[in-house]
Amino acid sequence: MNVSIIAIGDELLIGQVIDTNSGDIAIRLNPMGWRVNDVQVIADNSDDIIRAIDRAFEISNVVITTGGLGPTKDDITKATLCRYFGGELVENKDVLENVKRVIERRGLQMNELTARQAFVPTSCEVIQNQVGTAPIMWFERDGKVLVAMPGVPFETREMLDSAVLPRLFSRFPVDGHIEHRNVMVTGFSESLLAMTIAEWENALPDYLHLAYLPNAGIVRLRIDGHHPDKALLMSEINYQHSQLVKMLGTEHVLADKDIPLEEILLQLLIDKKFTIATAESCTGGNIAHLITSIPGSSEAFKGSVVAYSNEVKHNLLGVSEASLSEFGAVSQQVVEQMAEGACRALNTDCAIATSGIAGPDGGSDKKPVGTVWIAVKTPTRLFSFCHRFPGNRQRVIFRASMASMIMAVEEIRKG
């Protein structure tokens, strides 16, 4: 099934807001074998919206729009869809009651503008928005469907999963069976990985396809399969998945399924009954943030010391003043003492420590911007490594956080 996405809003075109809805929609459709033909980002302009819908329907059977459904004057999507599909805007009592429930849950008072959300085109079927006030509208014409969704990302995500996608998949069932398998790989560049597994990849059956999805320090390999015989597909994709994992080896396979790196680390700690802390300078608590974003992290994560200043490194983590003076904060000696100090201060089995120069200033010839020392302490080993990360400040922090967790997984696996 072919799908087109239209993201509506002046704020998207001027960069004030980033369009994340299109990616959220696509990532949910692709595993079901649906193809996103195109994504259009357009202004809050009625003629532009109509032209975008015409173009989308030329190449797709399903169109999903996001944005422009609010109660203010700049939100014109609802009126434009009424113009496109016919009918008139009338108050829908069920929508009004739903809006009242949502407003009451938020502890707010209904006002005249919010009440206007209950006006919807008579040409659509309403899907009640359980997490927001903008109703979702389902339009059909000549066997094709347009679904108008709110622009608020969490509303779009939740209502896609709970109401919209199940109905679309029922309305347009996929022919055949679809399966996916993932492998999270480290220690390879994308090109080197492709060369390493080229013979295996070239021998895949024509109903299996391999996708490469690189990130900082990780390449996610996804095997996609589509075949009318479900038993055959399951057997072959499971076999090829196991062959790929075996070929790459346990030292390079972080996980044999698609889960975040922080979840891989957390599950490993829980399995080994280890606890961990972080001592972060240049990453500013980002590693702790990533780990604690995973439900159940309290089973293994005890806490973090954001030791940004030398004073904190010395007073809270026990880094010696001599090391700070002789080698500098961004050094092997200091980062290893930070890791040991975190284990001691927070009474953990393991620790991750970072100290570096995220930029844009602060670098030197010997220690340029992007220099980051990372140390990992386990019950049996203390290991450190100096990285040189390219990119701006945010990129250095992100790459340092990812590299730290990869190092931690590798070191903890060693025992």
Average pLDDT of the residues of the chain: 96
Nearest to 62 by CA among 194, 204, 197, 165: 165
Per-residue confidence (pLDDT) for residue 226, from 0 to 100 = 92
Per-residue confidence (pLDDT) for residue 73, from 0 to 100 = 82
Per-residue confidence (pLDDT) for residue 113, from 0 to 100 = 87
Region of residue 187 (left: phi > 0; alpha: psi -120 to 50; beta: else): left
DSSP for 195-238, please give it: HHTHHHHHTS-TTEEEEEEEETTEEEEEEEEEES-HHHHHHHHH
The torsion angle over the Cα atoms of residues 191, 194, 195 and 196, rounded to 10 degrees, is: 120
Region of residue 347 (left: phi > 0; alpha: psi -120 to 50; beta: else): left
Low-confidence ranges of the chain (pLDDT < 50): none
Phi, psi of 172 (to 5 degrees): -130, 75
Contact of 58 with 3, CB cutoff 8 Å = no
Bridge partners of 6?
A: 40, 65
Phi, psi of 336 (to 5 degrees): -70, -40
- Residue-wise burial string across 383-407, b where 16 or more C-beta atoms lie within 10 A, e elsewhere: bbeebebeeeeeebbbbbbbbbbbb
The DSSP code for 163 is: I
The torsion angle over the Cα atoms of residues 403, 406, 412 and 414, rounded to 10 degrees, is: -110
Nearest to 283 by CA among 354, 365, 211, 337: 354
Contact of 197 with 247, CB cutoff 8 Å = yes
Distances (CA, A) of 23 to 28, 294, 382, 403: 9, 22, 40, 25
Task: Give CA–CA dist 195/244, Å, rounded.
Answer: 13
The SS3 assignment for 362 reads coil
Per-residue confidence (pLDDT) for residue 175, from 0 to 100 = 84
Per-residue confidence (pLDDT) for residue 415, from 0 to 100 = 77
> Which DSSP helix (H) or strand (E) runs through 184?
strand 177-186
Task: Give CA–CA dist 220/216, Å, rounded.
Answer: 11
Per-residue confidence (pLDDT) for residue 280, from 0 to 100 = 98
Chain segment 91-139, per-residue pLDDT in tens: 999 999 999 999 999 888 889 888 999 999 999 999 999 999 999 999 9
Omega of the bond leading into 135 within 30 degrees of 0 (cis): no
Region of residue 86 (left: phi > 0; alpha: psi -120 to 50; beta: else): left
